[in-house]
Amino acid sequence: MLYFGTPMKLDTQRGTLVYGVQHNLRDSVVVMPLRTGECRVGLLGLGTVGSAVAGLLLRSEHEIAHRAGLPIRLRHVAVAHPDRPRSLALPDGILTGDAAAVVDDPEVDVVVEVMGGIEPARTHILRALAAGKSVVTANKQLMSTRGEELLTASAARGVDLFFEASACAGLPVIKTIREALAANTITQVMGIVNGTTNFILTRMAEGGVGFGEALGEAQRLGFAEADPTDDVDGHDAAAKLAILASAAFDSRVVSADVYREGVASITPRIITYAREMGYVVKLLAIARSTDGAIEARVHPALLPGTHPLARVDRELNAVLIEAEPAGPIVLEGRGAGGGPTASAVVGDLIDVARNMRAGASHRIRSTGAERRPVKEMAEVVLSYCVALVVADRPGVFSQVAAAFGEERVSIASIVQKSRGVTADVVLVTHEAPEAAMRRTLARLHRLSVVTDVHAVIRIAA
Ligand SMILES: NC(=O)c1ccc[n+]([C@@H]2O[C@H](COP(=O)([O-])OP(=O)(O)OC[C@H]3O[C@@H](n4cnc5c(N)ncnc54)[C@H](OP(=O)(O)O)[C@@H]3O)[C@@H](O)[C@H]2O)c1
């Protein structure tokens, strides 16, 4: 049955006559396998995300077919261990251990990659794209490092590569940026994009508990992995920010471009001092367009209590998009977990099916046309909060102030809290280049009256 388009081409890779629509995208031919009148899916992975995707496709088959305009059917599901017992009941005969065969099967129209990791996921995706199959992926590790290669391959073949779930799972940030805000210039994306660290910081603020205790609680409740390094050290947030910055600025930002600091050094004491000054401490992922360049950084930051992201607590995520002329837009919700991630993956799949039905794939150009440099962190200009432990005696303030003054870092406020022989001094600076702040810290470390530089936290406006 022919739905749209006309028979165009003998697909030499598959050796079959397919129905498609010719596009003027360089030399590419868009192959629309609509003969069956359905969109047949090869799912790679049946873990947390894959099970939720398969469950949603099976459970909501009719609604999804109605919204997509054609049925979306699971044709194969590939896993690493096909003999492992599964809680989800799949139709007979669709589970396999051979992911490559799923990708190559001419009866698969779209490949959904939710197996994770760089290889073999990358090879499977490239092979699917080369065969004229659109791909949906949730793979942040892959998209934040090899996104350009994959997007270029999808553009060359004129098929879709959608990756909404790779940034903030259930929060539709990429679609908002690329579709709803297509008429806007985006100046900044600021987010709480890691639920584990947001849970830890929330518990430290609520309960006055230390980092280790809050992490243990997050692990008991399933909000942190047994090995939490990726989350705690900011790697997960940096990968997500690279994907969001690439989409927001139509440029190419990879994980390694993102300046990164984690939350392990945050103490209940600095959270208390921040609160006394009207701030909360959050791990922020910030991408900003400045002077023809891009700032991309993940670090703990002080946020004014009135800021829209300040009340986003526990495992929740939120992203603030500053767009012109739309103004600020906040998306808040669950940025991880099977259900929210499946929502994004199946949403992308429905988009692929709609495009196939309309013969209009690759409507959104997404190869990072702009080549904007990413700024070195030393060049970024910010305000800082610095908490020092100093000897509690006359003349100390003047030495501390001189260290700032010699580097032209101007102090906006200074508060002292006596602790007996020592005192805590909490300073807030006016805006200064990070390089100047680093030199100031080196001077402070050399002062005999400074016992400890307890915390240095950037301030986000
Ligand atoms: N979990 C989340 O909340 C979340 C949120 C956003 C994005 N993501 C992304 O989604 C992807 C999947 O995450 P997940 O949490 O679902 O992972 P997971 O639970 O570890 O599941 C991975 C699945 O891939 C299968 N697999 C692994 N290597 C394979 C191979 N070589 N061939 C075939 N199948 C293979 C595994 O098979 P077996 O079952 O047989 O071991 C398993 O079913 C990752 O890229 C992740 O970054 C996850």
| pLDDT tens digit sequence for 369-410 | 788 999 999 999 999 999 999 999 999 999 999 999 999 999
Whether the CB of 220 sits within 6 Å of ligand 1: no
Whether the pLDDT of residue 10 is over 60: the answer is: no
Q: How many residues does the chain have?
A: 461
Residue minimizing CA distance to atom 48 of ligand 1? 49
Residue 200 in contact with residue 210, Cβ under 8 Å? no
How far away, in angstroms, is 117 Cα from ligand 1 center?
A: 8
The per-residue pLDDT for 382 is: 97
- What pLDDT is attached to residue 417? 86
pLDDT at site 207: 86
Q: Tell which one of 43, 44, 46, 49 to mutate to probe ligand 1, the residue whose CB is within 8 A of the most ligand atoms.
A: 49
Residue 77 beta carbon below 6 angstroms from any ligand 1 atom: no
Q: Is 167 in the pocket of ligand 1 (CB under 6 A)?
A: no
In this predicted model, what pLDDT tens digit does every residue of 227-236 receive, in sequence order? 999 999 999 9
Residues 430, 381: contact at Cβ < 8 Å? no
**Percent of the chain at pLDDT above 90?**
86
Nearest to 301 by CA among 439, 197, 404, 379: 197
Return the pLDDT at 461. 75
- Is residue 184 within 6 Å of ligand 1 at its C-beta? no
Q: Is the CB of 48 under 6 A from ligand 1?
A: yes
Burial of 279-313, coded b for 16+ CB within 10 Å and e otherwise, reads: bbbbbbbbbbbeeebbbbbbbbbbbeeebebbebb
Q: How far is the CA of 98 from the centre of ligand 1 (A)?
A: 15
Please compute the mean of the pLDDT values over residues 28-45 and round it to a whole number: 73
pTM for the model stands at: 0.92
Is the CB of 390 inside a 6 Å radius of any atom of ligand 1? no
Is the per-residue pLDDT at 262 higher than 50?
A: yes
Residues designated as active site: 240
Burial zone of 275 (CB within 10 Å; 0-12 exposed, 13-18 middle, 19+ buried)? middle
Q: pLDDT band for position 26 (50/70/90)?
A: very low
pLDDT of 367: 65
CA of 49 to the centre of ligand 1 (A): 7
The predicted pLDDT at position 228 comes to 96
Atom 44 in ligand 1: residue holding the nearest Cα: 116
Looking at ligand 1, which residue's alpha carbon is closest to its atom 17?
Answer: 47
pLDDT tens for 400-437 read 999 999 999 999 999 998 888 899 999 999 999 999 99
